[in-house]
Chain A
Amino acid sequence: MKSIRKTSRPLALAAAAMIGLPLAVSGCGTSTASSSEAVKEISVMDYYNNEPDKSFIGDALTSCGTQAGVTIKRETVPGKSLISKVLQQSSSKTLPDVLMLDNPDLQQIAATGALAPLADFKISTDNFAAGVLSAGTYKDKVYGLAPTVNTIALFYNKDILAKAGVTPPTTWDELKTAATKLTAGDQYGLAFNANPTYEGTWQFLPVMWSNGGDEKKIDTPETEQALQLWTELVKDGSVSSSALNWTQADVKDQFLAGKAAMMVNGPWQIPALDKEPSLQYGVVKIPVREAGQTAVAPLGGEVWTVPQTGNKARQAKAAEVVACLNSDEKQLSMAKARNTIPSKTTLADKFATENPKLATFTELIKTARARTGQLGEEWPAQATKIYTAIQTALTGNASPADALKQAQGQ
């Protein structure tokens, strides 16, 4: 009998350890604060993990925290791993009190039920640009607000254009002529990115949307004309076929090195461009097919949300911070510091006069469209079709019309 008891003890211990371990692990996850306690600290997660944005956002958060009477416990994760982190946290119910999301991901996450509608906290959505609100809205409720936003436009090298006697183009025909004229030696007229990621789709949207193309159905004459323009530019050599593999950062490098006279890019490249004192550049809207068409640009930027953490008091504090980040004062200071655009249209004129470099972008934001505005959670699938069609047409595998038809049917 004695011997039996001896052997059973380690077994029982092992069994207890195995059962206990996961319990202990899961125990760590549950939040212990009850909602009646005074909230002293709230957690924040965003993807501004590089300087100088990291500090700009950090300072804004700290000052908003002070205003709301809480300290901020901030976590910054790399952009690529934010969504997987959010999904992981939503399954373990450990979402932060304030969560930043890239605007095309908002509907995807709101659809899971993980976010609280901002109306619950009486956060005002007045004066925001229509595109900004539509990016933050899922099923008629606003879940996220972006203090500052961005979009893309046409950058041009003033010296190269002046030397060739070219004025910045405003229509597609002018763009084609200018690009051909500016192509010489190892210098290309234009650089954009048409890579097989959402970035390739994003860069194509201005020509597609300005011409009346619709993301819901891409095999239309309007979108075909836009793709025809992209294809011709690559085919006649005014855009390098490397565009098929470039990122927006590569495009900026080409422009900086003087290997591209014009480029499609966003205001976040301005600090890098300004570091090169010899580079004189200007920014205009991306040309439209015919004079008189409105330039419609895609809306970029990050929205701030309040996840459903189940703790009402913390959520209320979190909402105060989100509201503060979206205040006029914070919008203006963050936009100026980060080369982005305030999302309230009421601030546009003041901002544009104070920051002439960003005037074109500020103008574009008024009419900018959100990528998820029409399709919501269906956007990723359709965006994949768009870049597939672009790649098929630019490689010459099919005509723009056929490429779009194939992609739409997929």
Chain B
Amino acid sequence: MSLTTDVSQAAAGTAAGKGSRKHGRGSGSAMQVPRRRPRHRRERIFQWLFLVPAVVYMALFFGYPVAKNVVMSFQDYTTATFFTGEAPWVGLANYVTVLSSSLFSTSLLNTALFTVGSILGQFVIGLALAVFFRRKFPLNGILRSLLLLPWLLPLIVSSAVWRWILDKDSGALNRFLGDLGIIDTGIPWLTSTSLALIAVVGVNIWIGIPFNLTILYGGLQEIPDELYEAGSLDGATGWRAFWHITWPMLRPVVSVVLVLGVVYTLKVLDIILGLTNGGPANSTQTIATQSYALSFHEFKFGEGAALGNVLVIISLVFAVLYLRASRRAVDE
């Protein structure tokens, strides 16, 4: 009893207080400080107005889709929903279905292998090329810009071309290997369950090299030449210079490249769809491709959204790692 009265009294008190304070402030601003307050307020309003475009943009193009996707993942969202607007709540059913499906563990493993393989290849080759292009030699600029080519091609085009290159019977790669006498029969790059993922990773590495090269090359340009000169006086050349000068100085750039690379790679869809469609026998099925198939081929929008959210959460973990790493870098 006493508790409720206390609470209601307290509530009444705050309500009254609020009312009176509001009233007080209103009259006060109008009467006592007529000049300074409005100007201050005006400034604040303008500050907010400057924020409005960004806030509206974020809410419209990032907030809304994310929120909608989360809501969708708890609904039985079907084709009928689009016409009737009805999507019954099903709680966690969508999550249970996709996470307990036997395909989920396959996709998760493939996503992990695809991401690790792609990042490792892209980064090592990208870094090697970046270090290589740091030297001054003729045609350096032209060669470097040619290496950007994979980045400029639409992914649909590159995957179609690679699909032809990797074809078992008439593909350019098998022809080439055959002419060299390395192989007798065509290697089924895209149709063998043990090779398809490797082939897809290989194509993704090719696509990712320009990104790694560009950013790492930029990072290398930031390292002052004096450090290498001083190092060479102390006997640090070649590999030693790389390990003791280049690598430590490049660390902040490396963390950016790796984390962005992981987030980009996790969501890769078009390359896999273009090359193998997730096949053969799901051996290149990733969470991204499976989520796409659920939503747009089987029309199970709720399950597709649930799986999409799983992918968002995985990406988020890496995004948080990135933010922490970059904060530490600033602190240092």
Contact = CB atoms under 8 A, between A and B. Distances in A.
Interface in A218-274: 240-245, 259
Interface stretch (B107-115, B124-132, B142-150, B164-172): B164-172
Contacts of B101: 410
A244 B103 contact: no
Contact of B279 (A108, A196, A198): A196
A201 B298 CA distance: 14
Contacts of A397: 193, 281
Contact of B297 (A14, A88, A198, A241): A198
B239 interface: no
A384 B79 contact: no
B67 interface: no
B83 A91 contact: yes
A140 to B, nearest CB: 18
Contacts of B276: 196, 245
Contacts of A384: 293, 297-298
A112 interface: yes
B68 interface: no
Determine which residue in B102, B296, B297 has the highest number of CB atoms from chain A within 10 A of its CB, and name it: B297
A14 B282 CA distance: 52
A33 interface: no
Question: Chain A: interface residue count, which band?
Answer: 35 or more
Nearest to B191: A244
A113 B84 CA distance: 8
Given A11-B45, A87-B82, A90-B82, A394 B298 contact: no
Given A196-B280, A198-B297, A410 B103 contact: yes
Contacts of B167: 242
A1 to B, nearest CB: 8
- Interface of chain A, helix or strand or loop or mixed? helix
Among B80, B191, B278, the most chain A Cβ lie within 10 Å of the Cβ of: B191
A243 B103 CA distance: 23
B279 A112 contact: no
A119 B167 CA distance: 50
B323 interface: no
B294 to A, nearest CB: 9
Contacts of A111: 79-80
A244 B193 CA distance: 11
Contacts of B79: 87, 108-109, 111-112, 377
Given A18-B56, A242-B168, A397-B193, A196 B278 contact: yes
Contacts of B39: 3
A77 to B, nearest CB: 15
A91 B77 CA distance: 13
Interface string A379-404: 01100100010011011010000000
A195 B163 CA distance: 13
A292 interface: no
Interface string B234-266: 000000000000000000000000000000000
A197 interface: yes
Given A111-B79, A111-B80, A388 B49 contact: no
Nearest to B80: A112
A384 B192 CA distance: 20
Nearest to A234: B191
Contact of A112 (B49, B84, B188, B300): B84
B88 interface: no
Interface string B28-52: 0000000000110110010001001
Given A395-B281, A410-B101, A88 B82 contact: yes
Contacts of B170: 186, 259
A114 B49 contact: no
Contacts of A391: 279-282
Interface string A137-174: 00000000000000000000000000000000000000
Nearest to B39: A3
Contacts of A4: 38
B168 A241 contact: yes
Interface in B279-329: 279-283, 293, 296-300
A394 B52 contact: no
A47 B195 CA distance: 36
B181 interface: no
Interface in A86-105: 87-88, 90-91
Contact of B169 (A11, A108, A240): A240
A111 B80 CA distance: 7
Nearest to A93: B83
B213 interface: no
A10 B168 contact: no
Interface in A111-127: 111-114
B85 interface: yes
Contacts of A395: 191-193, 280-281, 283
Nearest to A114: B83
Nearest to A7: B42
B297 A392 contact: no
Contacts of A186: 169-170
Contacts of A259: 169-170
Contacts of A240: 168-169
A112 B85 CA distance: 10
Interface string A184-197: 00101000000111
B277 interface: yes
A3 B42 contact: yes
Nearest to A6: B42
A84 interface: yes
Interface in A350-396: 377, 380-381, 384, 388, 391-392, 394-395
Contacts of B169: 186, 188, 240, 242, 259
B49 A90 contact: no
Interface in B175-215: 188, 190-193
Contacts of A113: 80, 83-84
B55 to A, nearest CB: 11
Contact of A14 (B52, B192, B193, B281): B52
A194 B276 CA distance: 12
Among A108, A109, A196, max chain B CB count under 10 A is at A196
Contacts of A18: 56
A134 B52 CA distance: 55
7 contacts: A3-B38, A88-B82, A113-B83, A114-B83, A196-B278, A381-B298, A391-B280
